[in-house]
Amino acid sequence: MSRSVLQGAKFRGLIKVSEDGLVGMISLRCDLKSVAVARGVRAALGLDLPDVRAIIYGRGGRAIAWMSPDEVLVLCDYTAVAGLVKKLDKALKGLHFMAVNVSDARAVFTLSGAGVRDVLAKGTPFDMSKFGVGEVARSRLGQVAVAFWLSDEGTARLVCFRSVGEHVFEWLRVAADKTAGVGFYQD
Amino acid sequence: MDFQNDVKLSDVRLAAQEGFESVEHAKRYTTLGMATDQGKLSNINGLAILADSLNLEIPQVGTTTFRPPYQPISMGAVAGDARGALFKPIRKSPIHGWIEQNGGFFEQVADWRRPYCYLQKGESVKASVQREILNTRNHCGLLDASTLGKILVKGADAGRFLDMIYTNMMSSLKIGQCRYGLMCSDNGFLIDDGVVARLDEETFLCHTTSGGSDRIHAWLEEWLQTEWWDWQVYTVNLTEQYAQIAVVGPQARVILERLGGMDVSREALGFMQFKDGMLGGIPARAFRISFSGELSYEIAVPASLGQAFWDKCLAVGKDLSIAPYGTECLHVMRAEKGFIMIGDETDGTVIPQDLGLHWALSKKKDYLGKRAQQRSHMQDKSRWQLVGLLPLKPKSVIPDGAYAVDGTVRENGVKNMIGRVTSSYYSPTLNCAIAMGLVEYGPDRMGEVIDFPTTDGRVIQARICDPVFYDKEGVRQNV
């Protein structure tokens, strides 16, 4: 019954673009410098808090990504969200924080292929030449806000708001059109 | 020489002549090479001219700091992505696709597209709007209200924070209850309104207007980050996490009872209360709030289940004549009830006092805009204030924005204006034209008839009345 915005739509051009379907996401706002918060997050998620602009991976696709000086995004299984929010609420009880399910508010895409940097560079002002695996960019793609990171040298994951999911998919289709190669980062 | 910044040969020579001999100085004096191409088109020529003017070789002049783009790429790689269907991002609600396939006649609401009405085969827009209103008032209507802003505010100081943000008291709201609130700018003018629900001791869910969610979220963050940085409050914009569907009309409760899973009776879920649970097997938060004056529930479900919930409502309500309605029906129904709309009754120059909303202005606490509202001009009794307007000819709908005149002429030769129409509709419920407007000394002039000259040379006369045209006692929503 549950439907992600593009229901797993795919496109193959200069790179492969696919919508990831429903992905579990928790927005966690807290003091990222607090030892007590870090301890609570570790207890609840088994993950450390990431450094500025970093993403840390755990087991089973779980990850935690830096979003701002007082916000991280937890990625997990769609069905695991409610349980993890509960764990965070328990582990951080008494501290100032907010953990909230934002899975349905977003769309997530996987971009794969050697041209990933070239395609992203068309839409983001972020300097892709210095962007490495393990880093997170909160930027824009074309006209909309996105966050993205490289899971490996040839694969990026990109998150945008659900309401513009179709727009982002169409944007990627144009940018990754077979005839639209730039050959800047990749020949 | 520099086509982007319009720098000429003579400009570079003048720089040298004026003593801007360093290449960095010459650059700043002329703006040579400071456009988006960072001098890729012009710098070499510019340096050559500077060298020539200074009687030096080019290498002796040197180059300015080298900045990206370091390497050329074709313009097509980065230019012109905003065209055709990608010209401007359109925000789409989880029900958007269904609306498109079911006669939705779209209008623009901020970056969203919302259905103005749902056109049935052969139906005019006007007829469609009237059908939706009568159907909702007599049976049951379904509204996609997903675009409403939803901002979660949490922390030990959340109540205190919202007391500053809203003109009325929010910290006293009981858990499980909803309260309508007004927000003003620090200049006292209305900027947004909506229903606040208290989820627990530390957590509030603030609904904003559809166009206001990003702006108001930024407004909250600005105050938290710059002024009250030591208050314990976090906010998250949850607008897109939920599909919000309003089930409205005398049959609304029957529809939800048929879906089953939650007690939505008058006793279990009173007016201005909310409840979490299941409806039709879907996790739901049901708000018993009404913007139409009818028995009404707004149901928030996870966005990914929005379409499923919508389909279920239509299926169980088929024999009860359930039908979707659009934004114009929403607008007419709220005007019949005298409810204000941010952007109609307000235009950035209107304060709550102008709209007779004194009841929502707390005397017990401070709030953003309170001081501004004490300035002499804001207290001026002659400010244009909200009234209802009933045209003497019941079929004459006053054009939106029409001015009222009193027959005198100002010193500059312009007709003296004493008010303007802010909302104007034909009400199929009351079978006559209705309007709201801001009028000089308005509330003191009940029963007076004033003139609205139209741009096509007519004069529509309307009687000043109370802005609540329908069910003033609120009997219909309170069942």
Q: Strand, helix or coil at B14?
A: helix
Paired tokens of B187: 């200049």
Average pLDDT over residues B29-33: 94
Statement: residue B41 has pLDDT above 90: no
Cβ of B59 under 8 Å from any chain A Cβ? no
The residues near A83 (Cβ < 8 Å, ≥ 6 apart) are none
Q: How far apart are CA B385 and CA B200, in angstroms?
A: 38
- Residue B279 is predicted with a pLDDT of 98
Q: Which residue, among B342, B246, B224, B364, has the nearest Cα to B300 in the 3D structure?
A: B246
Cβ neighbours of B303 in A, within 8 Å: 104-105, 162
Average pLDDT over residues A120-149: 95
Cα angle: B170, vertex B176, B182; to 5 degrees: 30
Closest residue in A to B90 (Cα–Cα): A164
Q: How far apart are CA B439 and CA B418, in angstroms?
A: 6
Helix (H) or strand (E) holding B407: strand B403-409
What pLDDT band is residue B103 in, cutting at 50, 70 and 90? very high
What percent of chain B shows pLDDT beyond 90?
A: 92
- Residue of A128, A141, A162 to mutate, interface with B, max B Cβ within 10 Å: A162
How distant, in Å, are the alpha carbons of A152, B253, B268, B286 from that of B265? 54, 7, 5, 12
Q: Residues of B280-319 as b/e, b for ≥16 C-beta within 10 angstroms?
A: bebebbbbbbbbbbbbbbbbbbbbbbbbbbbebbbebbee
Cβ of B242 under 8 Å from any chain A Cβ? yes
Average pLDDT over residues B331-349: 97
CA-based max dimension of chain A = 56
Cβ of A143 under 8 Å from any chain B Cβ? yes
Q: Around Cβ B448, how many Cβ atoms within 10 Å?
A: 14
Closest residue in A to B203 (Cα–Cα): A98
Paired tokens of A98: 């907010």
Cβ of A97 under 8 Å from any chain B Cβ? yes
Q: How far apart are CA A126 and CA A158, in angstroms?
A: 14
Q: Is the peptide bond before B453 cis (omega within 30 degrees of 0)?
A: no
> Is A171–B81 a contact, with Cβ atoms under 8 angstroms apart?
yes
Kindly report, residue by residue over B128-159, the tens digit of the pLDDT: 999 999 999 999 999 999 999 999 999 999 99
Cβ neighbours of A5 in B, within 8 Å: 94
How distant, in Å, are the alpha carbons of B52, B75, B78, B130, B297 from that of B41? 19, 13, 17, 61, 62
- Residue B476 is predicted with a pLDDT of 94
Burial class (CB in 10 A: 0-12, 13-18, 19+), B128: buried
Which single residue is written with the structure tokens 């030892």? A35
Closest residue in A to B157 (Cα–Cα): A96
Paired tokens of B261: 């899973």
Cβ of B152 under 8 Å from any chain A Cβ? yes
Strands (E), chain A: 10-12, 16-19, 24-30, 55-57, 63-68, 71-76, 97-101, 106-112, 136-141, 144-152, 155-161
Cβ neighbours of A122 in B, within 8 Å: 77-78, 81
Nearest to B303 among A1, A162, A174 (CB): A162
Chains A, B: CB contacts under 8 A, how many?
A: 98
- Residue B64 is predicted with a pLDDT of 84
- Residue B63 is predicted with a pLDDT of 84
Phi and psi at residue B226, to the nearest 5°: -105, -35
Q: Which residue, among B327, B158, B340, B334, has the nearest Cα to B233 in the 3D structure?
A: B158
Statement: residue A186 has pLDDT above 80: no
- Residue B39 is predicted with a pLDDT of 86
> Is B81–A22 a contact, with Cβ atoms under 8 angstroms apart?
no
Statement: residue A67 has pLDDT above 90: yes
Cβ neighbours of A123 in B, within 8 Å: 81
- Residue A187 is predicted with a pLDDT of 62
Cβ of A122 under 8 Å from any chain B Cβ? yes
Q: End-to-end alpha-carbon separation of chain B, Å?
A: 77
DSSP classification of residue B2: B
Nearest to A122 among B77, B88, B307 (CB): B77
Kindly report, residue by residue over B383-440, the tens digit of the pLDDT: 999 999 999 999 999 999 999 999 999 999 999 999 999 999 999 999 999 999 999 9
Q: Which residue, among A72, A85, A158, A163, has the nearest Cα to B240 in the 3D structure?
A: A163
- The better pLDDT of the pair B119, A59 is held by B119
Q: Strand, helix or coil at B94?
A: coil
Average pLDDT over residues A59-74: 95
The residues near B304 (Cβ < 8 Å, ≥ 6 apart) are A2, A3, A4, A22, A103, A104, B94
Q: Model pTM greater than 0.80?
A: yes
What percent of chain A shows pLDDT beyond 70?
A: 99
User: Distance (Å) from the C-alpha of residue A134 to the closest C-alpha of chain B?
Assistant: 24
Cβ of B283 under 8 Å from any chain A Cβ? no
- Residue B68 is predicted with a pLDDT of 66
Are B110 and B322 within 8 A, CB to CB? no
- Residue of A1, A106, A124 to mutate, interface with B, max B Cβ within 10 Å: A1
Kindly report, residue by residue over B239-288, the tens digit of the pLDDT: 999 999 999 999 999 999 999 999 999 999 999 999 999 999 999 999 99
Are B196 and B205 within 8 A, CB to CB? yes
Cβ of B199 under 8 Å from any chain A Cβ? no
> Is A144–B89 a contact, with Cβ atoms under 8 angstroms apart?
yes
DSSP classification of residue B307: H
> Is B81–A123 a contact, with Cβ atoms under 8 angstroms apart?
yes
Closest residue in B to A29 (Cα–Cα): B234
- The better pLDDT of the pair A130, A99 is held by A99
> Is A182–B73 a contact, with Cβ atoms under 8 angstroms apart?
yes
What pLDDT band is residue B22 in, cutting at 50, 70 and 90? very high
Kindly report, residue by residue over B50-98, the tens digit of the pLDDT: 999 999 998 999 888 877 666 777 878 878 888 999 999 999 999 999 9
Cβ of A29 under 8 Å from any chain B Cβ? yes
Statement: residue B123 has pLDDT above 80: yes
- Residue B36 is predicted with a pLDDT of 83
Q: How far apart are CA A34 and CA A26, in angstroms?
A: 19
Cβ of B160 under 8 Å from any chain A Cβ? no
Asked which of A24-38, B45-59, B173-187 is least confident by mean pLDDT, the reply is: B45-59
User: Distance (Å) from the C-alpha of residue B36 to the closest C-alpha of chain A?
Assistant: 13
Q: Residues of B94-114 as b/e, b for ≥16 C-beta within 10 angstroms?
A: bbbebbeeebbbbeebbbbbb
Cβ of B124 under 8 Å from any chain A Cβ? no
Which single residue is written with the structure tokens 């963050």? B221
Statement: residue B319 has pLDDT above 90: yes
Paired tokens of A173: 């289709």
Paired tokens of B337: 């009830």
Q: How far apart are CA A185 and CA A166, in angstroms?
A: 27
- Residue B125 is predicted with a pLDDT of 98
